[in-house]
Amino acid sequence: MLLGTVKLRRSLRRERRLNANSFLSEDQELLDALEMWPGDKKGVGNIASTFRGPIFKRNYVNDPNYGLPYVSAADIDRSDYFGSRLISRSQGAVLDQLRLSADMIIVTCSGMNLGWSMLSRRDLAGVIGSHDLIRVIADDSEDRGYLGAFLGSRLGWYSVRQSISGGSVKHIEPPDVDRLQIPWPSKSVRKTISDAYLQAAELRAQSTSLIHQATEQVFRSAGIEDLDEGDWFGNGRELGFTGHVRKRTLRAWNLSEKARMVATKINAAGASQLCSLVKPGTLRKGPGFKRIPVDEGFGVHLIGQRQLFRFRPRPKHIARRGVPESAFCLPGTTLIAARGTFGEAETYGRAQYVSELTSSWLFSNDILRVVPRVENLSGWLYAFLRSRSAFRLIRSVATGSKQQHLHPEGLAEILVPTIDGSEKIKIEEGSQPNTIIKLKGKGLPHQNSRGRGDQYVRLVVNIPKQLNKHQKNLLE
């Protein structure tokens, strides 16, 4: 519990707000320092226009042919938009008022994520944004990066949250953002900050694009395509089907015919079980440990499942003492949210990558670790495990009631497409489509012995319907 006294003049500056959190928060000193800024300050409303989109009925669809990508306030800071929902195109002209554009800065104005801000990067242009997102467009495009950097900073976040109103569901409005006073240094300083922030946004857009390309390459190398969400949901609900019961489970969810079809397609292309691609004993959750809160700078970052998928996570800070080394993860590890519910927008079953930067963070014991058996498999495993196909296979091995967990045996048996580098193959005359060629010793390492397995290549022959003159000469 926080206790303290507040001077009347501070209350008057906050329009006589009586909610104690706005005065006694841990970052109050930051806000006081902002008020004492000796240089120029400007109100957001004087340098930018702010507005929200119209309220509308959200009709979700599963087929990409009938929907457009949609992001809500909960999605806005996710590091991977792969799980974005689709909003029906039938909404018509109202969707045009909700489209995000590259010149916008977005501020969440409702719910648990209230006050989060980010730049609408080029990879989000055209995406439909929730009406719970305040759009901020700088009057001078040269100030867009500076304004975005401030609103996205810790100081900006707390400044926005000073205007919170509401009971169980907190809320702010565009006029609340307009009233914010931000430091206004010289043009050269603003330009330096703006350029750095815009460069970071561009690098993030490039990163997102490359990760998507990596996933596409995994499936292209195996000669198959990733699962299409429209096909998955288009097959309807699974009712009245029969399945092969196994000793480990009698749950119908684990006998999903749709998941079996996905696994069969991957297996036909050449695959290995996940357990054979990871270090023995590492396909499991992290250890439990005491969580002793400390001030920032005196402990380690603790990342839970929700923060795991945030581009800028806001971690808890706990004491390093008593935390086992096994709770940390090496770079190249793939993390899977291993506890949660089946909501399509939920993180349960989704994958995240541990980089050099994030390897110093501590991850909760609700997060499963996938440590590759050999280093050069780390990117391949992550690129597959973040795919739509892997997401459905992972969720198909769920166990539990309301809160789902991952069945360890089922998870170990998930099939992963495998391939290793490039190899020249001699194709004999008369080879027919779907011919299988064995590449001895070109598979993945054996789990409990030395050496490598074999790789199998299936020939896919595409016959063109029309030939140009040069192609005809080659055939003749």
pLDDT tens-place string over residues 37-63? 888 999 999 999 999 988 888 888 877
Given a cut of 80, is residue 294 above it in pLDDT?
yes
Helices 378-385, 388-395: inter-axial angle, 10-degree rounding: 70
Query: What is the distance between the alpha carbons of residues 154 and 30, in angstroms, rounded to a whole number?
Result: 9
- What integer pLDDT is reported at residue 421 of this predicted model? 45
CA distances 433 to 169, 270, 271, 437, Å, are 60, 16, 20, 11
Strand partners, 406: 398
Helix, strand or coil for residue 337? strand
- What integer pLDDT is reported at residue 475 of this predicted model? 65
Given a cut of 90, is residue 461 above it in pLDDT?
no
Least confident of 79-88, 106-115, 398-407: 79-88
CA distances 84 to 77, 231, 397, Å, are 12, 16, 22
pLDDT in tens, 235-278: 777 776 666 666 667 777 788 888 888 999 998 888 889 998 99
Residue range 92-118: mean pLDDT, rounded? 87
Structure token digits, residue 295 = 């001030």
- What integer pLDDT is reported at residue 135 of this predicted model? 94
Q: How many CB atoms lie within 10 A of CB 338?
A: 24
CB 329 within 8 A of CB 388: no
Percent of the chain with pLDDT over 90: 27
Query: What is the distance between the alpha carbons of residues 192 and 103, in angstroms, rounded to a whole number?
Result: 18
The letter for the amino acid at 393 is L
> Which range has the top average pLDDT, 30-39, 72-81, 282-291?
282-291
Query: What is the distance between the alpha carbons of residues 83 and 387, in angstroms, rounded to a whole number?
Result: 10
Helix, strand or coil for residue 446? coil
What's the alpha-carbon Rg for the chain, to the nearest Å?
26
Structure token digits, residue 4 = 């303290």
Given a cut of 80, is residue 185 above it in pLDDT?
yes
With 0-12 / 13-18 / 19 or more C-beta atoms within 10 angstroms meaning exposed / middle / buried, residue 386 is buried
- What integer pLDDT is reported at residue 190 of this predicted model? 94
pLDDT band at 171 (very low <50, low <70, confident <90, very high): confident
pTM of the model: 0.77
What is the CA angle 316-385-351, rounded to 5?
10
**Residue 33 C-alpha from the chain's centroid:** 34
Given a cut of 50, is residue 410 above it in pLDDT?
yes
Query: What is the distance between the alpha carbons of residues 102 and 122, in angstroms, rounded to a whole number?
Result: 5
CB 254 within 8 A of CB 410: yes
pLDDT in tens, 134-148: 999 999 999 999 999
- What integer pLDDT is reported at residue 241 of this predicted model? 62
Mean pLDDT for all residues in the chain = 82
Percent of the chain with pLDDT over 70: 84
pLDDT band at 166 (very low <50, low <70, confident <90, very high): confident
CB 311 within 8 A of CB 78: yes
Strand arrangement of the beta sheet that strand 300-303 belongs to: 316-318, 300-303, 362-363
CB 172 within 8 A of CB 163: yes
Helix, strand or coil for residue 228? coil
- What integer pLDDT is reported at residue 20 of this predicted model? 62
Given a cut of 70, is residue 424 above it in pLDDT?
no
Given a cut of 90, is residue 313 above it in pLDDT?
no
